């Protein structure tokens, strides 16, 4: 289905309810989801937008003026943001979110035409490949600027606007005429400025050393460049690491088999809990970072729980 097709036949009557998307069902009821959708559509109508519809996680609408542009907003992200607020403030926060998106859109249009302005906004976002398994996202991902630094995730080049992130497309960066590797380097360097808000906190969990890196938006993206940004968290045998959400990273520097067994137990438990409970999930995966490389623990489901297989080389190092 093309993006223009989303405007055809997707408008619900006031008595119809939109089914809550699968990825949000553990976070919000259908009634609450539809309440936030009503807040959003009502505000857009009041602002003069038309042909408002919801499809495949997107809120779509047209501007009022003749020849008006079609707009799309990731409504699932809006819902996740609103859920972080008190219920009594949901309508206000929905309106603020949409108005801020409008302001960011104006800034985005300005800086996309001028790399001298754009470069200070460049950043990198970490997203799961699973987000792009189904249409229309499966086709859309090939239009984006991305790398695979960590197995089963995409490192996406983006603009860090005041109120949202804009994932950049190949067409947009072609205007600048700058090599994409240079753009990613600038994006990673810009993340360095976030270090004050992402201090690694040391913990002793049942005798095993652990580090947590928490930040609402940047922890996962910051740790993509793990060798440079977190070199003090890497031991001789490497480190266990997980990125359950965009704002949380867990690290266990591996020293010996006994501590590893404790650390492994904790990282599995906390990774899955954060992934299930947080509105910004990325992955249940667990990785071994060793010799400047992320190696994936093979994950399977057994009795409703995730189970993991230790990479053979790590097994050998621990038992050597």
User: How many whole angstroms separate alpha carbon 247 and alpha carbon 274?
Assistant: 10
CA distances from 257 to 123, 188, 317 (A): 37, 34, 9
Q: Which sign does the torsion angle of CA 288, 290, 292, 295 carry? A: negative
Distance CA 222, CA 126 (A): 9
From the list 188, 152, 172, the residue with the least C-alpha distance to 299 is 152
Give the burial string for 165-182 (b: 16+ CB within 10 Å, else e): bbbbeeebbeebeeebee
Q: What is the pLDDT of residue 69?
A: 63
**ω into 136 cis (within 30 of 0):** yes
pLDDT at 241: 98
The pLDDT value recorded for residue 5 is 32
Q: Is the dihedral of CA 316, 211, 249, 290 positive or negative?
A: negative
Name the stretches of the chain with pLDDT < 70: 1-16, 64-69, 279
C-alpha count within 13 angstroms, C-beta hemisphere, residue 33:
21
User: Could you report how far apart the first and last alpha carbons of the chain are, in Å?
Assistant: 54
pTM: 0.77
- Cβ-proximal residues to 86 (8 Å cutoff; 6+ apart), any chain: none
Candidates 164, 198, 167, 194; CA nearest to 183 is 167
At residue 64, the pLDDT reads: 61
Residue 64: other Cβ atoms inside 10 A: 10
pLDDT computed for residue 8 by the predictor: 30
Of 109, 34, 99, nearest in space to 73 by CA: 99
Residues contacting 255, CB < 8 A, separation 6+: 209, 235, 236, 237
């Amino acid at each position: 289905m093309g993006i223009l097709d989303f405007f055809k036949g997707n408008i619900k009557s006031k008595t119809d309810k939109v089914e809550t998307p699968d990825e949000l069902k553990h976070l919000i009821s259908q009634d609450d989801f539809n309440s936030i959708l009503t807040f959003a559509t009502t505000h857009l109508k009041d602002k003069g937008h038309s042909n408002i519809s919801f499809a495949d996680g997107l809120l779509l609408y047209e501007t009022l003026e003749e020849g008006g542009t079609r707009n799309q907003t990731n409504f699932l992200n809006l819902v996740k943001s609103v859920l972080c607020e008190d219920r009594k403030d949901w309508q206000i926060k929905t309106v603020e979110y949409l108005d801020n998106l409008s302001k960011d859109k104006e800034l985005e249009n300005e800086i996309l035409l001028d790399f001298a302005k754009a470069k200070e906004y460049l950043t990198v976002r970490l997203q799961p490949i699973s987000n792009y398994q189904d249409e229309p996202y499966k086709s859309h991902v090939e239009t984006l600027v991305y790398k695979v630094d960590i197995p089963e995730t995409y490192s996406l080049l983006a603009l860090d606007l005041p109120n949202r992130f804009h994932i950049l497309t190949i067409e947009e960066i072609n205007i600048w005429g700058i090599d994409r590797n240079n753009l990613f380097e600038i994006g990673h360097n810009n993340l360095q400025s976030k270090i004050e808000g992402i201090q690694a906190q040391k913990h002793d969990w049942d005798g095993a050393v652990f580090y947590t890196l928490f930040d609402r938006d940047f922890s996962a993206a910051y740790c993509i460049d793990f060798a440079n940004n977190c070199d003090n968290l890497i031991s001789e045998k490497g480190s266990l690491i997980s990125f359950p959400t965009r704002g949380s990273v867990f690290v266990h520097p591996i020293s010996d088999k006994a501590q590893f067994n404790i650390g492994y137990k904790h990282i599995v438990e906390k990774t899955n809990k954060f992934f299930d409970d947080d509105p910004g999930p990325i992955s249940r995966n667990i990785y071994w970072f060793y010799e400047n490389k992320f190696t994936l623990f093979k994950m399977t489901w057994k009795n409703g729980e995730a189970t993991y297989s230790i990479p053979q080389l790590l097994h050998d190092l621990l038992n050597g």
